[in-house]
Amino acid sequence: MRRDTPIVTLVNEHLRITIIGLNYAPEPTGNAPYTTSLADGLAAAGHSISVITGYPHYPEWKLKQGYTGWKRLEVLGGVNVKRLRHFIPKKPRVLQRMHMELSFGLRAILASWECPDVVLVVSPGLFSSAMAILRARLSPRRPRVVIWVQDIYSRGVVETGAGGRRLGVLMSKTESLILRSADAVVAIHDRFQQYMVEYLGVPEKRIRVIRNWTHLPASPTSGLHAFRTRMGWSPEDVVVLHAGNMGKKQGLENVVDAAALAATRESRVRFVLMGNGNQRPKLEALAKQDARLEFVDTLPDDQFQRALAAADVLLVNELPGVKDMAVPSKLTSYFNSGVAVVAATDEGSVTASEIQASGSGITVPAGAPDKLLSAIEALTADPDKCRQMGRNGLHFRQVTLSASAAIAQYDEFLARLASQRSL
């Protein structure tokens, strides 16, 4: 779109920012904690923040109890939150997720935006983001619009096997068009930026890399033995904890198979899958009554942190073929715990690069349960090595994944972008 109006500088440093995204607190995992933390941080910095979001449904893919009606207004942490009811699929396949995004997007573009200087839209939520970008472009005040990319949408379609080659090509073209239509793009990893430039044709000068951060306070160091006892984890157990969503891209059948091997070998390794997701019922059916595998519901924040700190190893598990689509959000929480990480992932994946950069653990091939179990047994046989990896991860969290540093980058970036707004 050609712009003939002059560029002006805003006098007021305190901005009106509208954040539009499907997920927000009280959802405990995925994008919601980051969107919530950013909104809180920008509000604390003195900006006027409005959030347009959906009704809580993730990771269960089920409407959270107590949320009724078609619209709900809340004030959370000094942030005005407008919740809009939308379609929630029971099985989040490609078409069903598109239906959800479009139903939310339609309601979002018809809602009041409070005359923002900047609109920040969050993807996943690619199609609802596209609708928001279109409204922003057609607005008489023409706010600057930023798309915050948490996952590469088109890679997810291909890497999870959700669609064939033709759908992958179509999604790449669509994603490219949407990203290029925004005034700026925030990527959460250098690899995302590289992919957007090389494969999606987004101009590099319009992309800003700002890493996701650890949104949790310092991990507890006391009461861990009592917590293990309460959870039924014996001192002899080598507890390997996977925390977070149980979806398709996690490929957790690999963990079910590794647990069966552990039982056959009479190994001390005990796998714990903590959280929820659309694949959990299937995994529970596969596991049956396996003595070396346990399912635990999502815990409150303080207990969640205690569970991470009380484990012997923290696990990232990915479906074979998942390489570029996402940076697992659980890694920021894992690094915060000071516990060694094992990642079952493809060589050269974003996850593998994070483990290598942080020095926080080891990687094993995705979809190889025997190698996963053997690697965990070998690693935990060397407690000093485990402790050093845990310290490395904590150092990486403190230096690279600081919440205050990330939110300060957003503050500066959005202010600079708003100062170029056409009026």
Q: Write out pLDDT tens, residues 228-256.
A: 999 999 999 999 999 998 988 899 999 99
Least confident of 9-18, 232-241, 360-369: 9-18
Q: How confident is the model at residue 325 (pLDDT cuts 50, 70, 90)?
A: low
83-98 pLDDT, tens digit each: 999 999 988 887 898 8
Q: In what order do the strands lie in the sheet with 238-243?
A: 293-296, 269-274, 238-243, 313-317, 341-344, 361-364
Q: Tell me: pLDDT of 368 over 80.
A: yes
**pTM for this prediction:** 0.77
CA distance 368 to 352: 15
Instruction: Return the pLDDT at 5.
Output: 32
Helical ranges in 213-299 per DSSP H: 224-231, 253-265, 280-287
Q: Tell me: pLDDT of 163 over 70.
A: no
**Rounded mean pLDDT, 401-420:** 91
Structural contact between residues 314 and 241, judged by C-beta atoms closer than 8 angstroms: yes
The token pair that represents 3 in the structure block: 């712009």
Q: Tell me: pLDDT of 266 over 50.
A: yes
> Maximum distance among all alpha carbons in the chain?
73
The token pair that represents 348 in the structure block: 């050269």
CA distance 311 to 307: 6
Instruction: Look at residues 210, 190, 209 and name the one whose alpha carbon lies nearest to residue 198.
Output: 190
DSSP state of 28: -
Instruction: Return the pLDDT at 2.
Output: 32
CA distance 132 to 267: 53
Structural contact between residues 22 and 124, judged by C-beta atoms closer than 8 angstroms: yes
**Rounded mean pLDDT, 101-107:** 96
Going by their DSSP bridges, the two strands 48-54 and 79-84 should be labelled as parallel
Instruction: Return the pLDDT at 91.
Output: 82
Instruction: Return the pLDDT at 67.
Output: 95
- Who contacts 65 (Cβ-Cβ below 8 Å, separation ≥6)? none
Structural contact between residues 346 and 322, judged by C-beta atoms closer than 8 angstroms: yes
CA distance 414 to 118: 7
Average per-residue pLDDT for the chain? 90
Instruction: Return the pLDDT at 324.
Output: 63
Instruction: Return the pLDDT at 174.
Output: 92
Q: Which helix (H) or strand (E) holds 306?
A: helix 301-310
Structural contact between residues 131 and 105, judged by C-beta atoms closer than 8 angstroms: yes
- Who contacts 246 (Cβ-Cβ below 8 Å, separation ≥6)? 59, 252, 273, 275, 276, 277, 278, 279, 280, 283
Task: Say which residue, 118 or 402, is predicted with more confidence.
Answer: 118
